[in-house]
């Protein structure tokens, strides 16, 4: 569900970009739909994922996805330097996910 929320976030970011400050009706409607979808999917995902980790993954997917698709949809530039830092975000998201999948050895507060 978190990956789906990330995909919807990419759709939202691209729609906002295409709306030109919400002056293009089609893109504006698309932005509204994607906004509601991404918030719903993120809220469902956060039922089972820690908020900090879930939000970081969601934002990372949105940032990387909108940067990559912006190149194709809006003819935006993406330098090698920028691509490196986007790749670093991907590595960070993967590492967060891997670190979150390890069993916790600490005792939760209030649990004897």
Q: What is the pLDDT of residues 76-105, one digit of tens each?
A: 999 999 999 999 999 998 888 788 655 444
Query: Ranked by mean pLDDT, which of 30-34, 48-52, 56-60, 92-96 comes out on top?
Result: 30-34
Provide the number of structural domains found in the chain: 1
Q: Residue 80: how many CB atoms within 10 A of its CB?
A: 6
Q: Report if residue 81 sits inside a domain.
A: yes
- Domain residues for the domain of 46 are 2-100
Q: Report if residue 105 sits inside a domain.
A: no
Q: Report if residue 11 sits inside a domain.
A: yes
Q: Report if residue 108 sits inside a domain.
A: no
Residue 10 reports pLDDT greater than 90: yes
Q: Residue 2: how many CB atoms within 10 A of its CB?
A: 20
CA distance 9 to 37: 8
What's residue 110's pLDDT? 57
Alpha-helix runs per DSSP H in 1-112: 2-18, 25-45, 51-73, 80-100
CA distance 62 to 41: 13
Q: Report if residue 107 sits inside a domain.
A: no
């Amino acid at each position: 569900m978190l990956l789906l929320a990330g995909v919807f976030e990419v759709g939202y970011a691209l729609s906002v970009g295409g709306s030109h400050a919400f002056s293009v009706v089609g893109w504006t409607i698309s932005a509204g739909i994607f906004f509601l979808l991404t918030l719903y999917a993120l809220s469902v995902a956060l039922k089972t994922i820690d908020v900090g980790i879930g939000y970081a993954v969601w934002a990372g997917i949105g940032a990387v996805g909108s940067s990559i698709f912006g190149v194709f949809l809006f003819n935006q530039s993406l330098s090698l330097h920028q691509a490196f830092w986007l790749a670093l975000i991907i590595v960070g998201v993967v590492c967060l996910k891997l670190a979150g999948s390890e069993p916790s050895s600490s005792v939760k507060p209030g649990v004897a």
